[in-house]
Structure 1
Amino acid sequence: MTGSPETGLGSSRLGPAERAAALDRMGHEEFDVVVVGAGIVGAGAALDAATRGLSVAVVEARDFASGTSSRSSKLIHGGLRYLEQYNFDLVREALTERGLLLQRIAPHLVRPVPFLLPTTKRVWERGYFGAGVALYDALAFSMGSTRGVPHHRHLTRKGALRLAPSLRRDAFVGAIQLWDAQVDDARYVMMALRTAAEYGAQIASRTQCVGFLREGERVTGLRVRDLESRTTSEVRAKQVVNATGVWTDDIQELVGGRGQIHVRASKGIHLVVPKDRIHSSTGIILRTEKSVLFVIPWGRHWLIGTTDTAWNLDKAHPAASRADIEYVLERVNSVLTTPLTHDDVEGVYAGLRPLLSGERDETSQLSREHIVAHPVPGLVLVAGGKFTTYRVMAKDAIDAVAHGLDGKVAESCTDRIPLVGGDGFQAMWNSRHRLASVSGLHVARIEHLLKRYGTLVDDLLTLIREKPDLGKPLDGADDYLRAEIVYAAAYEGARHLNDVLARRTRISIETWDRGIGVAKEAADLLAPVLGWSKKQTDREVEYYRKRIEAERDSQNQDGDQEADASRRGAPDIVPTASP
C-alpha cells in the first residue's frame, strides 16, 4: 500500500529498503517511544502509539513473531477454562476483543471455528459444562460481540457423531458445540506491524537491544546492534517499552536489575497431522488433568495441542521431546476410533507462554493476566496476557507511555483501526470469482490469497502479471504460490529463508519433509530481492536443512534436557549478540 497525500498515510511495505531507511532514521532522530520486541504485544504497542500521533521505532532481535507469537494454538478465544477460575473479567475482555477482531479489525485474518466439547456424564457434566458455555455466550452477548459466531448447542451422541465420525462411541455420551475463532498468529503480527508502518512507525528486525542509554536514573533510549551488519548504534527516545515476552527479565537486567515483576516460561507443543487422519467437520476440545487439548482445523491439516510444562532452557528454540509428543498422542487417541501414531505426524512446533510468576509452582496455575509497570523513569514494562487480548495490553502500555510524556496524548483508537488488508475485505471476497477470471488463477487460489493478504492481494496479482512464472505453485508445497515467497521478502520483512518457510508461510510444519524439498526453490526466489550471492543462497538452504535435522533429532529425545541439547545443534544463521 502506498502513501496518500489525502490521508497522510505512509507505506506499509517492510522490505530491505524500508529496513535500511528505518535504521538510518533511528540513528538520527529522537522518538517519542521505542518498542523493544516485535511479537504481538510489541506490534500492538507500536500501532497504538503510532495511531495516537506519536513517533515510534520498533527493534526486534530476531524475526517478527519468531518467539511465542508464531507458536501459539492460533486461536482467538475467550478462555473457557478461566470461567472455572471465576475470572469473568478476563473472559469478558477476551470475548470483546474476539468480536472486534472478527468484525472490524481483521476480518481477513480471523475467522470463526466450531468445536465439539464431548461430555462423559449424562447429567451433572452436561449441566456443568452447559452452564459454563452458556455463560461464555452470555458474556460475549453482553459486550455486543456475538455477531459472526453462532451460539452453542447441545448434541446427543448420535448428533455429535454425524459431525465427528472419528470419535469413539464409548468415549462420550453427548456433546456441546460452541464457536470461537482462529488466526495465523505470525501473519497477524506482521500485518499489525505493517499497519503501524503505514502510520509512520520505523521498524527493523534483526536489530538487538544490547543496552540502555541513561541520563541519571532516567532511561533515554537504547544501544542496538544491527545483527546483519554487526554495527552498533544508539536510538534516543523519550520513553522505551519492554514488550519482550519470555525475555522480559533478560531485558530488565540490562537496565540494572530484574525488578519486582518476573516472567516464567511455560512450554506448549502442537502436532500437525493430515486432515484425512481424523474424520470430523468440527474441531474438538478435550479436557486433560493439567490443561485443555484442542484438535483444531487448519486447512488440509489438524493442529493438536497443547501441553503446559515449565521450561528453563533455550528460550529462542524451545524443543518438543518424544515424551511431549507421546503425551499429546495418548490424550487425543483416548477418544479416536483410529489412533494416531508417530508416523501420522507431519509437523511439530513448541512455543513458550510468558506467565507472570506467582507463588504457585505449577505453570498451568500462573496468571494469564497482564501487568504494566514503570520500573524506572523512561521505561515501561508490559508482560503476561494472551494473544487475544494483545490490543488491551498495548493500549495499557501506551497509556503508561503517555503518562510519562510531557503534553497531552490522544486516547487509543485501535478498536476502530482495521489492519492493512482488512478495510473493504468483504467486498473483495464477494468479488473473488471476478478476480479469478481477470487474473487467470483458479478461484481456490484467490480465496487462499484473500485469507492471507486481504485486499493487499492486488500486490500479489501485480507481481504475477509482471512475471507470470510467479503464479505457479511451489514444487513440493503447492498450497503456496511462488509469488508469495518473493512478496515475503519484498513487502513483509522476511530476511532469511527460515523466516519465509516457518512464519510468512507454514511450509515448515505443513509438509512431510518440513520444507527441505522446497528450500532451494524458495531461496532462489529470495536471492534477487535480498541481494544474496550464490554462496549466501546455498548457506541459507544448508542452515535450513540443519535446523530441520536438529528439530527432528530433538523430537526423538526422551526429555527436555536432551531435546534442548539436540536443538542447539543448529546455530542461528544470524547469531544474537552478547550485551
Structure 2
Amino acid sequence: MSDQQRSALTPAGRAEHLGRLRAATADSPLDVLVVGGGVNGAGAAFDAATRGLSVGLVETHDWASGTSSRSSKLMHGGLRYLQMLDFKLVAEALRERDLLLEHTAPHLVRPVKFVFPFFKKVVDRAFIGSGVALYDAMQSIGRKRAVPFHRHLLHEKMLEVFPGLDGDKAVGALEYYDAQMDDARFVMMLVRSAAQLDAAAANYTTVIEYLHEGEQVVGARVRDEETGEEFDVHARETILAGGVWTQEQQELAGADAGLEVLASKGIHITVARDRIPAVPDTGIITQTEKSVLFIIPWDEYWVIGTTDTPWTQDPRDVGATGEDIDYVLEHANAVLKDDLAREDVIGVYSGLRPLLQPVSKGADKGSTKVSREHTVMEVEPGLTAIAGGKYTTYRVMAEDVVDFAIKDSQPGRPSLTRTVPVIGAQGYETLVRDSQEIGRRYGFDEIRTDRLLFRYGALLSDVLALIDEDPTLGTPLEHAPRYLRAEVLYAVRAEGARHLADVLERRTRLDYETRDRGVAAADEIAALIAPELGWDEQAVRREVETYRAHIEARLAGESTSSDAEAAARISTAPEVPPTS
C-alpha cells in the first residue's frame, strides 16, 4: 500500500483503523492515544506519528466539528498581542505562519492582504504604524520574508485599494499581510497526515471511560457511535485535547487536578463579495470595544466577525443570536461606505474559544508546563491535557504536549513536524505550474482550478482520477455549482465523511456559503454518497431530514435574543441522526 493510499480515510479503512485500536491491549499497548479530533488533537497525533510512535486518535463527532471548523480562518501572528507586549508569542506565531506558507502547508495556507484604517490621522498612524512596523520587523529576523512588507496608504490611495471603506471616517490606512486557510480541511489533512504514518484514526468514536491500573491511566474505553460497540484501547500515554470539553473529560477520568477552561463565543457572518468593493484578496482589520473586526475575502463572499462573549450553555448547542448578528453588522457598518443589512447575510457560523484559566489547585510545578497561550498538564499519571493556544501555533502546541507526555516512557524521540510537510504539499508546486493545462483538459476556468488546488494540493490528482473514470463527476452540483460531484464522492472515499452534515459543513462549506445553508443540495449529495456508505432509501431520507431540521433550528436561533434561547432551539435538532 502506498503512503497516499494509507492516508485515505475510507469507509473500509475506518473499520481497519478501529480494528487496530481494538488490538491495542494491555500486553501490546499503543505508545500514545489522543482524545479529541480538533487541530490540537490532530496535530498531536501527526507529531507523535512523525516520531515513529504507535498512535491512536479518536473523536466523538467529525474531525474539526467543534471550535476548529468555526474560526476566522486565519494563520496570523496576532498583531493585537503586541499591545500586550507579548513579543515572544508574536514571534513564535509569525515563525509558524511562515513555515506553513513556505514549506509544510503551502497548499492549505496562503497570503492575504489587510487594510488597517486610521480614524485619527496623527495618533493612529503613529501608534498602529509603529506596531505593524515592529510586526513586520519580527518577520525578518534570521529568515527570508514569506509575505511583502507593509506600506502606509494616504486617503486617496486607501480608497483605491479598498473603495468600500467610508472615506468620510477613515483618514488613511496601513496595508500589511498575514495568511488564511480553510480550518476544517486543514484539520482533516492533519488527520490524513497522521494516518499516512500509520496512526489509527476513528471519528464518531467516543471515550466513555478512562482505564486505570492503580492511579495510572492506561488508555480508554471507547464506543463506536455507528454500531454501539464498546472496547478498550490500551496506551502507555494518553493525551487529552478536548478544547471546551476538557473539564468534562477530566471529570470522566476522575482527575483530582486539571485545567480550567471557559468558553467564549465568536460568530461570523458571510455576505456576497459584490456588496463590498475592494481590490481582490484584500480585507479589513480594525478593533472594536470588545473584540477585533475582520472583513476577510474568501472565494465569492466575505467572512465578517467576530464577537467575544461568555458561553454558559452546553457547548454542543452553540449558535448565534439575532443580537450577535446585529453586533457584527453594526461594527462592519461603522467602517464601510455602504451599510450592510440583515438581508445581505448569506450565512452564519458560531464557535467557542477555549479560554484557559489559572491551573487548578493540586497541580505541582513538575506536572505542568505553562506558556502565555497554552498549558500542558499531567492531570493524572499517564493522562496529559493541553488547552488554550491559537490555531497558528498548533504545531508548537503539538510538539509541547507530545514531548511532555512521553518524556519518561519514550525519551529521545524528537518531533519532525518542522520538516515533514502536511499531506498534499509534496508535488503541489508542480500542479500549480500545470494549472492552465489542468483547466483546459477538464474544462475548468481559472477560478475553479485555483479553488481545487487550494482545497487539495497535490491530492487534486486523486480527485481528477475520479473524473477520468467517470466524466459525469466533473460536472458541478446543481444547487451548489462551486463544487464538483467528484469532490462529494472524494469526501467519503478519502476524507472520512460519515454523514451528510460532514460533507455539507466541513468537506464543503455550504452551510454558510449559500442562502439556503446547503439544504437544496442535500438530496443530490446524499444520493451520491449513499452507495459508498451503504445507505438504503430510509437512511438517505433520515440524513436529509436531520440536516434540514438542524438548519431550521440554527435559523430559529438566529432570531432569538439570548444564548439560552438559541441553545434551546439548536438542542432539539442535532446535525447527524442519532444512533438507533
TM-score by length of 2: 0.95
Aligned residue among 535, 545, 560 for 1:532: 535
Q: CA RMSD in A?
A: 1.6
Aligned residue among 13, 16, 23 for 2:8: 13
The whole-number CA distance in structure 1 between the counterparts of 2:209 and 2:502 is: 26
Q: Does residue 504 of structure 1 match 2:507?
A: yes
SS at match of 1:478: coil
Match of 2:392 in 1: 388
Structure 2: gaps spanning 5 or more residues = 360-370
Q: Does residue 446 of structure 1 match 2:449?
A: yes
The whole-number CA distance in structure 2 between the counterparts of 1:170 and 1:134 is: 26
The whole-number CA distance in structure 1 between the counterparts of 2:306 and 2:474 is: 36
Match of 1:24 in 2: 19
Structure 1: gaps spanning 5 or more residues = 360-366
Match of 2:158 in 1: 160
Match of 2:203 in 1: 205
The whole-number CA distance in structure 1 between the counterparts of 2:372 and 2:542 is: 40
The whole-number CA distance in structure 2 between the counterparts of 1:295 and 1:258 is: 43
Match of 2:298 in 1: 298
Match of 1:43 in 2: 42
Shift of 1:39: 0.4
The whole-number CA distance in structure 1 between the counterparts of 2:145 and 2:245 is: 35
Checking the alignment, whether the CA contact within 8 Å between 2:501 and 2:575 is kept in structure 1 is: no
In structure 2, the CA distance between the partners of 1:442 and 1:332, relative to structure 1 (3 Å rule), is closer
Q: Does residue 90 of structure 1 match 2:95?
A: no
Please list the CA deviations of residues 79-102 of structure 1 after superposition, one character each: whole Å capped at 9, or x if unmatched: 111100111111111000000000
Match of 1:400 in 2: 404
Checking the alignment, whether the CA contact within 8 Å between 2:256 and 2:380 is kept in structure 1 is: no
The whole-number CA distance in structure 2 between the counterparts of 1:240 and 1:141 is: 38
Q: Does residue 231 of structure 1 match 2:235?
A: no
200-209 vs 441-450, which deviates more?
441-450
Please list the CA deviations of residues 304-349 of structure 1 after superposition, one character each: whole Å capped at 9, or x if unmatched: 0010010011212311000100000001101212100000000000
Match of 1:377 in 2: 381
Shift of 1:382: 0.8
Please list the CA deviations of residues 28-58 of structure 1 after superposition, one character each: whole Å capped at 9, or x if unmatched: 1220000000100101000000000000000
Letter in 2 for 1:186: A
Aligned residue among 170, 175, 178 for 1:177: 175
Q: Does residue 311 of structure 1 match 2:315?
A: no
Letter in 2 for 1:251: Q
The whole-number CA distance in structure 1 between the counterparts of 2:499 and 2:310 is: 30
Match of 1:493 in 2: 496
Match of 1:363 in 2: none
Shift of 1:3: 1.5
1:84-483 matched pairs, under 5 angstroms: 84-144=83-143, 146-147=145-146, 149-257=147-255, 259-281=257-279, 282-358=282-358, 369-405=373-409, 407-483=410-486
Please list the CA deviations of residues 467-497 of structure 1 after superposition, one character each: whole Å capped at 9, or x if unmatched: 1111100011111001100000110000000
The whole-number CA distance in structure 2 between the counterparts of 1:132 and 1:444 is: 35
The whole-number CA distance in structure 2 between the counterparts of 1:76 and 1:536 is: 38
SS at match of 1:203: strand
Checking the alignment, whether the CA contact within 8 Å between 1:100 and 1:145 is kept in structure 2 is: no
The whole-number CA distance in structure 2 between the counterparts of 1:260 and 1:569 is: 31
The whole-number CA distance in structure 1 between the counterparts of 2:285 and 2:556 is: 30
In structure 2, the CA distance between the partners of 1:254 and 1:143, relative to structure 1 (3 Å rule), is farther
The whole-number CA distance in structure 1 between the counterparts of 2:254 and 2:8 is: 36
The whole-number CA distance in structure 2 between the counterparts of 1:74 and 1:440 is: 29
Checking the alignment, whether the CA contact within 8 Å between 1:72 and 1:185 is kept in structure 2 is: yes
Shift of 1:575: 4.5
Letter in 1 for 2:42: A
Shift of 1:437: 3.1
311-320 vs 524-533, which deviates more?
311-320
Checking the alignment, whether the CA contact within 8 Å between 1:52 and 1:409 is kept in structure 2 is: no
Shift of 1:143: 4.8
The whole-number CA distance in structure 2 between the counterparts of 1:539 and 1:574 is: 7
Shift of 1:443: 4.3
SS at match of 1:393: helix
Checking the alignment, whether the CA contact within 8 Å between 1:191 and 1:420 is kept in structure 2 is: yes
The whole-number CA distance in structure 1 between the counterparts of 2:34 and 2:329 is: 39
Letter in 2 for 1:508: D
258-267 vs 296-305, which deviates more?
258-267
SS at match of 2:335: coil
Q: Does residue 513 of structure 1 match 2:511?
A: no
In structure 2, the CA distance between the partners of 1:145 and 1:326, relative to structure 1 (3 Å rule), is farther
Q: Structure 1 segments of 4 or more deviating over 6 A?
A: none
Please list the CA deviations of residues 416-444 of structure 1 after superposition, one character each: whole Å capped at 9, or x if unmatched: 11111111211210111122333444444
Checking the alignment, whether the CA contact within 8 Å between 2:257 and 2:380 is kept in structure 1 is: no
In structure 2, the CA distance between the partners of 1:296 and 1:576, relative to structure 1 (3 Å rule), is farther
Match of 2:368 in 1: none
Checking the alignment, whether the CA contact within 8 Å between 1:50 and 1:56 is kept in structure 2 is: yes
Percent identical: 50
Shift of 1:247: 0.6
Aligned residues: 564
Checking the alignment, whether the CA contact within 8 Å between 1:514 and 1:548 is kept in structure 2 is: yes
Checking the alignment, whether the CA contact within 8 Å between 1:157 and 1:172 is kept in structure 2 is: yes
Checking the alignment, whether the CA contact within 8 Å between 2:442 and 2:474 is kept in structure 1 is: no
The whole-number CA distance in structure 2 between the counterparts of 1:143 and 1:263 is: 36
Shift of 1:566: 1.2
The whole-number CA distance in structure 1 between the counterparts of 2:461 and 2:268 is: 33
In structure 2, the CA distance between the partners of 1:145 and 1:519, relative to structure 1 (3 Å rule), is farther
SS at match of 2:12: helix
The whole-number CA distance in structure 1 between the counterparts of 2:81 and 2:307 is: 16
Letter in 1 for 2:40: V
Match of 1:364 in 2: none
Checking the alignment, whether the CA contact within 8 Å between 2:432 and 2:453 is kept in structure 1 is: yes
Shift of 1:120: 1.1
Letter in 2 for 1:467: D
The whole-number CA distance in structure 2 between the counterparts of 1:547 and 1:278 is: 30
Match of 1:362 in 2: none
